Amino acid sequence: KNQVEQSPQSLIILEGKNCTLQCNYTVSPFSNLRWYKQDTGRGPVSLTIMTFSENTKSNGRYTATLDADTKQSSLHITASQLSDSASYICVVSDKAAGNKLTFGGGTRVLVKP
Residues 6+ apart with CB under 8 A from 60: none
Residue among 17 and 52 whose Cβ is closer to other proteins? 52
Q: Does 63 bind other proteins (CB under 8 A)?
A: no
Q: Does 31 bind other proteins (CB under 8 A)?
A: yes
Q: Which of 72, 76, 94, 101 binds other proteins (CB under 8 A)?
A: 101
In angstroms, give the least distance from the CB of 80 to other proteins.
21
Which among 1, 19, 2, 9 is positioned nearest to 91, based on CA atoms?
2
Using CB atoms within 10 Å of the CB of residue 95, give its burial: 0 to 12 exposed, 13 to 18 middle, 19+ buried. middle
Note whether 64 and 56 are within 8 A (CB): yes
Q: Which of 33, 44, 63, 66 binds other proteins (CB under 8 A)?
A: 44
* SS3 category, 48: strand
Q: Does 23 bind other proteins (CB under 8 A)?
A: no
Q: Does 106 bind other proteins (CB under 8 A)?
A: yes
Q: Does 49 bind other proteins (CB under 8 A)?
A: yes
Residues 6+ apart with CB under 8 A from 9: 105, 106, 107, 108
Q: Which residues contribute to the site for other proteins (CB under 8 A)? A: 31-32, 34, 36, 41-46, 49, 51, 89, 93, 99-101, 103-106, 108
